[in-house]
Amino acid sequence: MALINSKQRYGSLSIALHWLVVIAFIGVYASIEFSDSFPKGSDMRSFLKGLHFSLGLSIFIALFVRIAARLAGAEPEIVPAIPEKQKLAAKAIHLALYLFMLGMPVAGYIARTLAGKVTYLFGIALPVFGSVNKELAGSIIDLHETVGNIGYFLIAAHAAAALFHHYVQKDNTLLRMLPERK
Ligand code: HEM
Ligand code: HEM
């Protein structure tokens, strides 16, 4: 299977990154939701929060490789062709997902630095810049949490659309994002 996307299907780079990021998303959401079940100051709570930050930042880094992989190849076509309106809707959702993967980690990291806290990327300390502003940090986190909750719906709509294409419209939308079967 080719590394880069062709007109027929996604390449192995885009496919691997897409599904690794899906796994990272499960970890990002699960870690922060479960962290609340452990008492403040406990090792498990700080481990889970640290995991949330590291996985979230990994999604941010992977985003740039994904965009490069997308730009380097062709746009895989859906067969049989779908109406233009549906293509536009898919583009809008993909753009929203890209903005989500860009905005969420940036907001989280900025909020941490504004709170004067060091963020670690799998053990590597990232810089803390600017002066401390806990109030602004709190507002950014409120927004981060709200948009994070909207993300559940965005991802669900995207996954449901993929299944609709596969089982109802019976086109190759999902198959071209899966490893090729010989
Ligand atoms: C795509 C990436 C990310 C998603 C989808 C995401 C999502 C979320 C969600 C849903 C919550 C709220 C959980 C709740 O309701 O209690 C949250 C909280 C938070 N996130 Fe993220 N996040 C991401 C990346 C990051 C990154 C990279 C950082 C920091 C470097 C970060 C920092 C935080 C902080 C500080 C909180 C508040 C946690 C607390 O209760 O103390 N997030 N995030
Ligand atoms: C079980 C969950 C998921 C399924 C079944 C799924 C399925 C698919 C499929 C079939 C495609 C190709 C569709 C097309 O090009 O029109 C696709 C593309 C895409 N997916 Fe997912 N996906 C899932 C989760 C996610 C998550 C969690 C994200 C990120 C938040 C995401 C982001 C994207 C993006 C940005 C594209 C567009 C790729 C491009 O640039 O062409 N997906 N997904």
pLDDT, the chain, mean: 97
How many domains is the chain partitioned into structurally?
1
Residue 176 in domain: no
Q: What is the pLDDT of residues 14-52, one digit of tens each?
A: 999 999 999 999 999 999 999 999 999 999 999 999 999
User: Would 161 be classed as within a structural domain?
Assistant: yes
Whether 133 maps to a domain, the answer reads: yes
Identify which of 88, 94, 171 to mutate to test ligand 2's pocket (most ligand atoms within 8 A of the CB). Answer: 94
Does residue 4 fall inside a structural domain? no
Q: Does residue 158 fall inside a structural domain?
A: yes
Average pLDDT over residues 141-164: 98
Ligand 2 pocket residue status of 28, Cβ below 6 Å = no
User: Which pLDDT value is given to residue 51?
Assistant: 98
- The answer to whether position 182 is within a domain reads no
pTM for this model (two decimals) = 0.95
Domain containing 167 equals 12-171
If pLDDT is split at 50, 70 and 90, which confidence band does 180 have?
confident
Query: Which of 26, 32, 54, 145 to mutate for ligand 1's pocket (most ligand atoms within 8 Å of CB)?
Result: 32
Residue 5 lies in a domain: no
Ligand 2 in reach of 121 Cβ (< 6 A)? no
Q: Is the CB of residue 144 below 6 angstroms from any atom belonging to ligand 1?
A: yes
Q: What is the CATH number of the domain that holds 17?
A: 1.20.950
**Distance in Å, CA 90 to ligand 1 centroid:** 26
Are 84 and 18 a contacting pair, CB within 8 Å? no
Beta carbons of 48 and 38 less than 8 angstroms apart: yes
Alpha helices by DSSP H, 8-133: 12-35, 43-72, 84-114
Within-domain flag for 7: no
- Closest C-alpha to ligand 2, atom 10: 174
160 Cα–ligand 1 center, Å: 24
Determine the Cα–Cα distance for residues 9 and 65; give it in Å rounded to an integer: 18
Tokens of residue 80, six digits: 């049989």
Ligand 2 center to 19 CA (angstroms): 8
Q: How do residues 86-95 score in pLDDT, each as one tens digit?
A: 999 999 999 9
C-alpha neighbours within 13 Å on the C-beta side of residue 61: 9
Give the span between the Cα atoms of 168 and 154, in whole angstroms: 20
Give the residue whose CA is nearest to atom 14 of ligand 2. Answer: 173
Mean pLDDT on 56-69: 98
- Whether the ω angle into residue 80 lies within 30 degrees of 0, i.e. cis, is yes
